[in-house]
Structure 1
Amino acid sequence: MAEASGPIFEGIPEPKSPDVVVLAPRMQGAPLPTPEQVLRFGYSEDDWEDFTLEWVHALGDPYVYVKRMGGAGDRGADIAACLTLQGTDGEWHCYQCKHYLAPLMPSDAWPEMVKIFVAKVQEAYELPTRYVFVAPKIGTTLSRWLLSPKTLKKKFFEEWNKEKSKLGADLDSADRAAVEALAEATDFSMFQPADMGFILKVHRKTSHHVRRFPQQLPARPDVEQPPDEQSIQEAVFVKKLLDVYNEKHGLALQNLQEARAHHKTKGHLVDQREAFYSAESLRVFARESVPPATYRAIEKDLYHAVVDVAAGPYSDGFERLRHVLIAASGHQPNQANILAPVVTGLDKKGLCHHLANDGHLTWCKEEEG
């Protein structure tokens, strides 16, 4: 089973992450519980299915559709991951979520296996080509049998054929016979365990992970230098800088190249673009590490720290920009926000240009109104 950063096909809707600000983990005191401990002892069945759905979306298998099916009437499938547009009428994988404090035992697995056979017999689904038990902990006996399809099948039928067995006891004679025949014809290698280490390795690459398991953030990558050519994303902020330079120096600069070539503006322009791209690297890092609201809180906090400064009377746009950048440099992000420790002084200046880029700040008076 390959791993990847997200679903193969863009058409798969991602699980929606709650719009929350992730707080920094405690710096002192008792150690935080491990993700394994949180999952096993701190989750409800619904939480577990939500978590599993996030993991399935992050797998590299070519799923064109992923659907949470859990609840009444799920017919033995908590999460259906479909490999074709035929959905569960075509090839698909079943992820069966089981959340117990005790390890998952064979007695927990048998009824679920019967359900999926019954669903096929009663034409609710096609039989999945992969049926994965997803549990915080799978017991030793079941783990061993799942690694030996022949043994698993033998043990299943031993339980099925026991006198007064509860497996299939609620079926009429025709369906019971059909289920038995289907199970006899099935390769039990379709039944597989999900390894918790692998689950967490894949889930760790999603933005959901830090929300569920507040730990220290990974190291932030180095900031790349701005490209020589102006990118589309910086068009507005560069135009506002050109207005500043033209107003202050009585110039008529029209583009980035002219400003970069002029001795009065090139040094300042280089510094501002470096700040802009530093803030952009923070935005990308946050997008890949935390829910969106966590980054927005950093940006909003800075905006409120500088907006009154930007509103003051100044002789020209350059002075307004200079005072805003000074205020931004002295601003301290909310230390409860998990991103706060990785926000640099250059980021804070760059965030001002991002806010200008988005129309929230402006420098020259003629732009106002």
Structure 2
Amino acid sequence: MFGLFGGHQPFGGTFSQAYRCYPVSFIDKLDAENGDKIFLPPSALDRLASLQIEYPMMFKVENRRGGRHTHCGVLEFIADEGLAYMPYWMMQNLLVGEGDIVHLASARLPKGQLIKLQPHTKDFLDISNPKAVLETTLRSYSCLTVGDCIALHYNGRRYFIDVIEAKPAEAVSVIETDCEVDFAPPLDYVEPNRAEPPQDSVPEPAANGAADQAGPSSAEPAEEEAPKFTPFVGSARRLDGRTVAAPAAPSASQPSGPAAAAAARAQQGGAGPGSSQAPKRPAGKVVFPAGNRLLAKQQQAAAPKPPESKPEPEEAKFQAFSGKPRTLKG
């Protein structure tokens, strides 16, 4: 008896049987959850051997009521007749429960060249080397089918991953093949919002009518003139402590600087219309006016003379060797 429907198929055909499916936990094979291999009855092995099915054996599993299908391999032929034990994640993909009927058919799958996977949560990105972990996990798999959701166990946690693309076919073999693996963003991944740089606002030009109404008053105010430097504006002091009359503050109209000093010297020198200019002096010589010397002599003569001090008697000077001579004989 082969499966629920029994009967023999002609040699050289494909293997096709129907079984009631149960999870691998029913036969205490929990390690089989980390893969895609199922358990079939011993009669299936006899039939497969007579049909000369190529190794490794692969099967297409269908839930014809739900319209779902996937592919798998076989691990052992120890199941009871009419029953097939498979990983629970595979039963979830097929939308079948315990005791539901599934149809198996032998299949030949090409070697995979590209597989694109999409994790369900972004926690999968926290794994230090996800590709190495995935490579270790896929050693327990014989094939992958687009639309499957496989379970990856790592560091005490379980990660669900969808197969969203496969090349060169919808279902490919991953046994002894150099397959490229690509990852899509996780289902719960949210692209961070990037703040756009602020755009400089350009003021719009005023209308012609508004500009005419504004008139000259709308012109921009002129820049304030910087304060000018005015030298020697502090208060004067005399060395003898007498008060000095405060000089008049220079007005803005009066010249300052070297020009002002030259003008002051010209006024003091009698540059007016009624005075005569000072005679030119030869360069490199110092000339003292005669009137100034005469005035200095008169002031010196009129000044009272200090009293003459009498010379004090000189103290007796010390004279060396002024005593009487004496001899040693006495």
The TM-score range, normalised by the shorter chain, is under 0.3
In terms of fraction of residues, the more helix-rich structure is 1
- Tell me: higher relative CO, structure 1 or 2? Use CA pairs within 8 A at least 6 residues apart: 1
User: What TM-score results when the alignment is normalised by the length of structure 1?
Assistant: 0.18
In terms of fraction of residues, the more strand-rich structure is 2
Q: Which one has the largest radius of gyration?
A: 2
User: What TM-score results when the alignment is normalised by the length of structure 2?
Assistant: 0.19
